[in-house]
Amino acid sequence: MKIFLDTANVDQIREINDWGILQGVTTNPSLVSKEGRCMRDCLEEIATILRGPISAEAMSMDTEGMVREARELAGIAENINVKIPMTAQGLAAVSRLSKEGIKTNVTLVFSTNQALLAAAAGATFVSPFVGRLDDIGNSGMAVVEETVDVFDTYSIKTQVIAASLRHPMHVTEAARAGAHIATIPYDVIVKMIRHPLTDLGIQRFLEDYEKIKDL
């Protein structure tokens, strides 16, 4: 499973990219607005940091508008793919964009049927939102698992991005469900490296080394 960072914060992207584990970034309008900068500036800077896929969201609600925006966003850098919402207009846009060779990430996916339609339209990625389904008492991860299973059955090439992940167990569960990608918020990825026994082990080794280092 590939590790993507779900953020528009360039400092966070630089830091995690330096760990050598980062394979992509996903943004959305809420994440960009937290940074208080315009979408284009933000995307241009992210593209200077990372070679892997970067998702940028189209904001139009009509097909023509989505296609126009997608062409502009994809023109910013060759590794930008365009997030398109899971609507009828969105499917029509995805279908047109896939014929033009513009990569898409169908977002706000909450069911396997939505994912199937997105894949049929030619989406490069689909993003089931796990945490938001959990929030309303459904199992978000069940949708990831079922979607991966159905895509495998029919050898569908569309990649499943487990999105709206809220804590480290979501990442483990996404990996077990067979998600191709997990897009992870910065605070969650930082929690993933920590373990109290690792900290304790380092402390003990340092203390013991103090006893022998001058021998």
Cα separation, 56 vs 182, whole angstroms: 16
Is residue 69 close enough to count as binding ligand G3P by CB under 6 A?
no
Is residue 105 close enough to count as binding ligand G3P by CB under 6 A?
no
Kindly determine how many residues on this chain lie close enough to bind ligand G3P according to the rule CB under 6 A: 9
CB 144 within 8 A of CB 113: no
Cα separation, 14 vs 21, whole angstroms: 11
What is the smallest separation between the CB atom of 110 and ligand G3P, expressed in angstroms?
11
* Catalytic pick among 2, 83, 103, 191: 83
Cα separation, 109 vs 86, whole angstroms: 6
Kindly indicate which of the ranges 74-82, 111-119, 127-135, 136-144 contains the residues binding ligand G3P, using the contact rule CB under 6 A: 127-135
Q: List binders of ligand G3P among 20-59 (CB under 6 A).
A: 26, 28
The verdict on whether 103 is a catalytic residue reads no
Radius of gyration of the chain from its Cα atoms, rounded to whole angstroms: 19
Describe the crossing of helices 88-100 and 112-121 by its angle, rounded to 10 degrees: 40
Is residue 183 close enough to count as binding ligand G3P by CB under 6 A?
yes
What is the smallest separation between the CB atom of 9 and ligand G3P, expressed in angstroms?
12
What is the smallest separation between the CB atom of 85 and ligand G3P, expressed in angstroms?
12
Kindly indicate which of the ranges 60-68, 124-132, 139-147, 196-204 contains the residues binding ligand G3P, using the contact rule CB under 6 A: 124-132
Contacts with 5 (C-beta within 8 Å, 6 or more apart), sequence order? 12, 13, 16, 22, 24, 25, 26, 183, 184, 185, 186, 189
Catalytic residue numbers?
Answer: 83
Residues that bind ligand G3P in the complex, under the rule CB under 6 A: 6, 26, 28, 129, 131-132, 163-164, 183
